[in-house]
Amino acid sequence: MNEPAIRLDKVSMRFNLNRERVDNIKEYFIKFMRHQLHYNEFWALRDVSFTVQKGERLGVMGLNGAGKSTLLKVIAGVMKPTHGIMEINGNIAPLIELGAGFDMNYSGGENIYLYGATLGFSRKQIKEIWKEIVDFSGLKDFIDVPVKNYSSGMRARLGFAIACMVEPDILILDEVLSVGDAPFKKKSEAKIMELFDRGVTVIFVSHSMEQVEKLCNKAILLEKGQVVASGYTDSVCEEYKRRMQEQKK
């Protein structure tokens, strides 16, 4: 039996929301010591279970607040789930919040090594594709400039170039990919399709049923942090459409 790329078994994510406002650290510490801090529990994910085989492309759908972004961050390792078991086989390139892991005081070139390390690649591996990353990003003239002087678009382009050029086993896409100007967007979309053709496992989040149907062969539907439908893309999209129509009544 083939080893799955991703397996989640009853994964849950809980957040504690303050009931009252705390204005400063001193007030927080005093209330904490006196056991006067009160929270409301909010479960962003509840008992989420699914398996993605290697080479599959899974679409994740749901209305705002369904738990899609939280799920991506849990899979990417940004958040640790409160409960449940998660198995990841392969390196992940999360194309969400591109450039969020950069050190603003380091140059673009230095951040290539730093960001590459967060994706699980050694300095030697990054060095072998360093020039390819720089060329793809189109930032050759700015690569020695501190990232704090980059525009948000430049940071996103560099983050995208690093994540894609390391050739990940698992690719996480959040909503429509629109990085940089029109020429770079066209180039980035071509790179994504190239990764698809190589058999990269994909987790794709979108509100667009058309995009999910075009890019994915499997899908899940989230509602209030729970999986309410899963299976082949067309059947899950039909269930999503039915639930949206019910809400409009």
The rounded mean pLDDT for the chain is 85
Q: Which domains does the chain have, with CATH numbers?
A: 1-90+170-175+200-249 (3.40.50.300), 91-168 (1.10.8)
**pLDDT at residue 31, as a whole number:** 61
Distance of alpha carbon 171 from alpha carbon 95, whole angstroms: 7
pLDDT grade for 74, boundaries at 50, 70 and 90: very high
pLDDT grade for 175, boundaries at 50, 70 and 90: low
- The pLDDT of 72-83, averaged and rounded, is 90
If you search the block for the tokens 């479960």, which residue do you land on?
A: 43
Task: Look at phi and psi of residue 199 and say left if phi exceeds 0, alpha if psi is from -120 to 50, else beta.
Answer: left
Helix (H) and strand (E) counts in the chain: 8, 9
pLDDT in tens, 211-223: 889 889 999 999 9
Distance of alpha carbon 233 from alpha carbon 218, whole angstroms: 5
pLDDT grade for 191, boundaries at 50, 70 and 90: confident
Distance of alpha carbon 31 from alpha carbon 191, whole angstroms: 52
**pLDDT at residue 132, as a whole number:** 93
Distance of alpha carbon 2 from alpha carbon 197, whole angstroms: 20
In what helix (H) or strand (E) does residue 149 lie, and over which residues does it extend? none
Q: Who has greater pLDDT, 182 or 26? A: 182
CA angle 163/169/171 to nearest 5° reads: 55
**pLDDT at residue 166, as a whole number:** 79
Q: What is the rounded radius of gyration, in angstroms, for the C-alpha atoms of the chain? A: 20
pLDDT in tens, 87-131: 999 888 887 767 667 899 999 999 999 988 887 788 898 999 999
**pLDDT at residue 71, as a whole number:** 94
- The pLDDT of 141-170, averaged and rounded, is 89
